[in-house]
């Protein structure tokens, strides 16, 4: 635990454990640290029981720092024994348990509880335990407090601008105790304008039973040689202010105390009025603001006749102490500007930044995502098909019915072709090796290539090229054999042939002939097929080839230029139809294997021709 006098709860080395992932409040503490030139962040650790995070990023000035995150206060305290403050930002349902645990942790000295609405029975129990253990509780129902130029509890003091205007970034000579957090800020401002600012201030919170009260803090401040006078802002309800009355009378507080209890207007209302705080209700005459103000005055506190006169009174006491040489001169420190958050600066139009990505298809920034500016709800309401969505997201077009139906048909037709085709086989082998669905699917998809399923683009490219160059079908076949020296993509099938035709190809051809405005490239490809099947009966226009040429026909009919179609082919967009459709089948095969709980597949030896030779000996080279 930090080595500092009893009367000081916080100094420039104080570190806190922050219970709950309230990143904004934590960032505000760190911004304060930066402004006052602290070297060590005031938050040492965060406790977030439901998080798997090990660290959370924050800014410390312009730099980013990592603050460790723990699942329990105990673990955080063990790892950060120097952090003697627990800022308990738990909800009112959890705050009691968090506090109870912290009371028993030896390294924690001060517990700040923000939650409002903890049952009074629990609050009293928790306060009692804390007092017995010699621990400080600030709150419940409090914003916290602040040691000027040293340590800020969470959101105390408001914005950084407010903090600087109220001179909370460096110590003054005044001690402040309030109940309310809002008035705490107001008082800090008044004290900065009429005196030299606060040295330290605590908002004890609005509950009926605060864990530490006015007197506890005034007694600390009495002992603090840097604090020259105190300001106390009480309120109607409860009797805590009378403890201060007694202490002044007994001479336990000798420094000037300027005191005011708000709520003097309550008498204007007929019955007992509850003012915001749980404790702000006068149950008896003694608990009214007027009675308390009178008692304080009578005891010797400096009590103005109205809140409006409070600033003047503060100024008077300050000037007097200054004249007596009690108040030291303060050298105003330089305040580094807090870097503005990127989002805020951008909103204000102060900065601009070039983007790294361009997206022309979809947008999720609004209330609902859109596909080429069409909200998803409209896509659903208007009954867009999968093909229509492909039209929007792949090609940024609304396709006519005949084209959408064709795309739908392609996807359905290529969805599966049994377990023995190379991609399905790979997907099944991967699934049987225990791989998850995504990995097994990837294994199947990676098999799609120029020989299997991925010949659509190649077919489109070569047939289109040959047709546009005016090659006769025979010239094309010769060209591919002699110049390109490769099989014509989209021609040939291991199983299908003219005697065993591929039904899928028939379906596609029939659809196109009936529904496409024109099928120029298909007609050409069928002439090529005549040449190849004359060589060998399995050299048919296969399903990839048929899709490839029909896609070119489709785009031509839709008005795409030859160059635009080439770009689509070069991008791999036509194979994408096979990838998409066949994923359905691969997933089916993977789920089938999982359902069957099939064991690891090992290929049989007798299915491999072992043709192994001695290695060529290059060792003497
Ligand atoms: N174009 C021209 N000639 C071909 C083609 C072709 N696409 N495919 C095979 N041939 C010829 C060969 O040159 C060979 O001729 P030769 O007897 O004069 O030497 C003969 O046909 C037999 O060749 P194989 O390689 O034994 O043929 P196979 O039946 O094994 O080939 C395959 C089938 C792999 C599909 C092959 O035709 C090919 O590579 N086609 C192009 C790729 C393709 O379209 N793949 C998609 C198939 S459909 C799908 O996966 C969904
Ligand atoms: C398929 O669609 O997977 C088939 O055409 C390929 C094959 O080998 O049967």
> Among residues 124, 154, 152, 148, which one has the least CA distance to residue 137?
124
Q: What is the pLDDT of residue 282?
A: 60
Q: Which atom of ligand 1 is nearest to the CA of 417?
A: 51
3 state DSSP class of 257: strand
Please give the mean pLDDT across all residues of the chain. 96
Read off the pLDDT of each residue in 547-569 and give the average, rounded to a whole number. 98
Read off the pLDDT of each residue in 83-111 and give the average, rounded to a whole number. 98
> Among residues 150, 328, 132, 120, which one has the least CA distance to residue 227?
328
Q: Which of 492, 495, 543 to mutate to test the pocket of ligand 1 (most atoms within 8 A of CB)?
A: 492
Q: Which of 421, 487, 504, 577 to mutate to test the pocket of ligand 1 (most atoms within 8 A of CB)?
A: 487
Whether 364 shows a pLDDT value over 80: the answer reads yes
Among the bound ligands, name the one nearest to the CA of residue 462: 1
Strand partners, 64: 59
> Among residues 180, 212, 175, which one has the least CA distance to residue 196?
175
pLDDT tens digits, 218-238: 999 999 999 999 999 999 999
Q: Is the CB of 92 under 6 A from ligand 1?
A: no
Among the bound ligands, name the one nearest to the CA of residue 496: 2
Q: Is the CB of 590 under 6 A from ligand 1?
A: no
Q: What is the pLDDT of residue 284?
A: 83
Ligand 1 centre to CA of 556 (Å) is 28
Whether 16 shows a pLDDT value over 80: the answer reads yes
Cis omega before residue 140 (within 30°)? yes
Q: Is the CB of 538 under 6 A from ligand 1?
A: yes
Ligand 2: lining residues by beta carbon, under 6 Å: 417, 421, 453, 494-495, 543
pLDDT tens digits, 571-585: 999 999 999 999 999
Ligand 1 centre to CA of 607 (Å) is 23
Ligand 2 centre to CA of 460 (Å) is 18
Among the bound ligands, name the one nearest to the CA of residue 497: 1
Q: Which of 452, 508, 585, 586 to mutate to test the pocket of ligand 2 (most atoms within 8 A of CB)?
A: 452
> Among residues 544, 547, 490, 556, which one has the least CA distance to residue 518?
556
Strand arrangement of the beta sheet that strand 43-47 belongs to: 55-60, 63-70, 43-47, 16-19, 85-88, 110-113, 136-138
Backbone phi, psi, residue 271, to 5°? -110, 180
Ligand 1 centre to CA of 588 (Å) is 28
Give the length of the chain.
Answer: 621
Confidence label for 275 from pLDDT (cuts 50, 70 and 90)? low
Q: Which atom of ligand 2 is nearest to the CA of 502?
A: 5
Backbone phi, psi, residue 218, to 5°? -65, -35
Compute how many other C-beta atoms are within 10 angstroms of the C-beta atom of residue 420: 10
Domains of the chain (ranges, CATH numbers): 15-323 (3.40.50.261), 362-414 (no CATH), 448-571 (1.10.230.10)
Q: Is the CB of 36 under 6 A from ligand 1?
A: no
CA angle 594–600–601, rounded 5-degree value: 105
Q: Which atom of ligand 2 is nearest to the CA of 414?
A: 2
Q: Are 289 and 266 in contact (CB under 8 A)?
A: yes
Q: What is the pLDDT of residue 274?
A: 60
Ligand 2 centre to CA of 573 (Å) is 20
Q: Is the CB of 540 under 6 A from ligand 1?
A: no
Ligand 2 centre to CA of 406 (Å) is 20
- In 480-579, the DSSP E strands lie at none
Q: What is the pLDDT of residue 4?
A: 85
Confidence label for 2 from pLDDT (cuts 50, 70 and 90)? low
Active site residues: 277
Whether 72 shows a pLDDT value over 80: the answer reads yes
Backbone phi, psi, residue 488, to 5°? -70, 120
3 state DSSP class of 5: coil
Q: Which of 453, 541, 586 to mutate to test the pocket of ligand 2 (most atoms within 8 A of CB)?
A: 453
Cis omega before residue 59 (within 30°)? no
Q: Whose CA is nearest to atom 5 of ligand 1?
A: 487
Compute how many other C-beta atoms are within 10 angstroms of the C-beta atom of residue 23: 14
- In 48-133, the DSSP E strands lie at 55-60, 63-70, 85-88, 110-113
pLDDT tens digits, 592-609: 999 999 999 999 999 999
Give the β-pairing of 151-152 and 136-138.
unpaired
pLDDT tens digits, 479-532: 999 999 999 999 999 999 999 999 999 999 999 999 999 999 999 999 999 999
List for the chain the helix, strand, coil content (%; round to 5).
45, 10, 45
pLDDT tens digits, 420-439: 999 999 999 999 999 999 99
Tokens of 19: 């219970």
Q: Whose CA is nearest to atom 6 of ligand 2?
A: 421
> Among residues 59, 57, 211, which one has the least CA distance to residue 129?
211
Whether 168 shows a pLDDT value over 80: the answer reads yes
Ligand 2 centre to CA of 495 (Å) is 8
Q: Are 499 and 550 in contact (CB under 8 A)?
A: no
3 state DSSP class of 201: strand
Confidence label for 254 from pLDDT (cuts 50, 70 and 90)? very high
Q: Whose CA is nearest to atom 18 of ligand 1?
A: 535
């Amino acid at each position: 635990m930090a080595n500092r006098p009893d009367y000081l709860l916080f100094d420039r080395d104080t570190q806190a454990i922050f219970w709950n992932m309230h990143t904004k409040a934590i960032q505000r503490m760190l911004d304060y640290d930066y402004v006052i030139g602290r070297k060590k962040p005031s938050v040492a650790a965060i406790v977030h029981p439901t998080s798997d995070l090990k660290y959370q990023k924050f800014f410390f000035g312009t730099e980013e720092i990592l603050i460790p995150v723990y699942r329990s206060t105990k673990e955080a305290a063990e790892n950060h024994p120097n952090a003697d403050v627990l800022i308990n930002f738990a909800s009112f349902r959890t705050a009691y348990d968090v506090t109870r645990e912290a009371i028993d942790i030896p390294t924690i000295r001060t517990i700040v509880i923000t939650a409002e609405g903890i049952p009074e029975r629990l609050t009293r129990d928790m306060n009692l335990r804390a007092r017995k253990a010699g621990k400080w509780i600030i709150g419940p129902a409090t914003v916290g407090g602040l040691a000027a130029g040293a340590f800020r509890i969470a959101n105390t003091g408001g914005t950084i601008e407010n903090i600087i205007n109220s001179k909370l970034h460096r110590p003054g000579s005044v001690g402040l105790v309030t109940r309310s957090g809002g008035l705490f800020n107001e008082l800090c401002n008044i004290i900065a304008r009429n005196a030299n600012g606060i040295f330290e201030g605590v908002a004890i919170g609005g509950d009926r039973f605060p864990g530490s009260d006015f007197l506890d803090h005034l007694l600390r401040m009495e002992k603090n040689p840097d604090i020259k006078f105190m300001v106390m802002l009480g309120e109607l309800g409860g009797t805590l202010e009378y403890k201060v009355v007694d202490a002044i009378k007994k001479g336990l507080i000798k420094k000037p105390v300027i005191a005011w209890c708000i709520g003097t207007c309550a008498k204007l209302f007929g019955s007992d009025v509850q003012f915001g705080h749980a404790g702000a209700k006068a149950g008896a005459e003694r608990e009214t603001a007027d009675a308390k103000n009178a008692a304080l005055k009578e005891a010797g506190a400096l009590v103005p006749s109205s809140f409006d006169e409070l600033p003047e009174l503060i100024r008077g006491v300050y000037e007097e102490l200054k004249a007596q040489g009690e108040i030291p001169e303060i050298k105003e420190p330089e305040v580094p500007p807090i870097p503005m958050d990127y989002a805020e600066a951008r909103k204000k139009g102060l900065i601009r930044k070039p983007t790294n990505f361009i997206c022309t298809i979809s947008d999720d920034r609004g209330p609902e995502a859109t596909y080429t500016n069409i909200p998803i709800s409209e896509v659903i309401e208007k009954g867009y098909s999968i093909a229509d969505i492909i039209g929007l997201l792949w090609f940024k077009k609304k396709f006519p019915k005949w084209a959408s139906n064709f795309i739908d048909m392609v996807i359905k037709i290529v969805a599966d072709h049994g377990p023995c085709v190379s991609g399905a086989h790979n997907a099944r082998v991967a699934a049987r090796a225990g791989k998850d669905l995504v990995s097994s699917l990837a294994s199947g998809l990676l098999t799609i290539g120029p020989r299997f399923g991925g010949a659509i683009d190649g077919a489109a490219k070569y047939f289109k090229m040959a047709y546009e160059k005016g090659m006769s079908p025979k010239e094309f076949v010769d060209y591919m054999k002699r110049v390109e020296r490769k099989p014509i993509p989209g021609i040939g099938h291991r199983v299908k042939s003219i005697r065993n035709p591929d039904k899928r190809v028939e379906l596609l051809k029939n659809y196109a002939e009936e529904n496409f405005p024109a099928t120029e490239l298909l007609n050409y490809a069928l002439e090529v097929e005549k040449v190849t099947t004359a060589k060998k009966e399995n050299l048919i226009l296969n399903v990839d080839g048929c899709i490839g040429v029909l896609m070119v026909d489709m785009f031509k009919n839709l008005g795409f230029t030859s160059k635009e179609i080439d770009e689509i082919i070069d991008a791999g967009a036509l194979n994408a139809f096979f990838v998409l459709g066949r994923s359905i089948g691969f997933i089916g095969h993977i789920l089938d294997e999982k359902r069957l709980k099939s064991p690891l597949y090992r290929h049989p030896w007798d299915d491999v021709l072992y043709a192994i030779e001695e290695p060529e000996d290059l060792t003497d080279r």
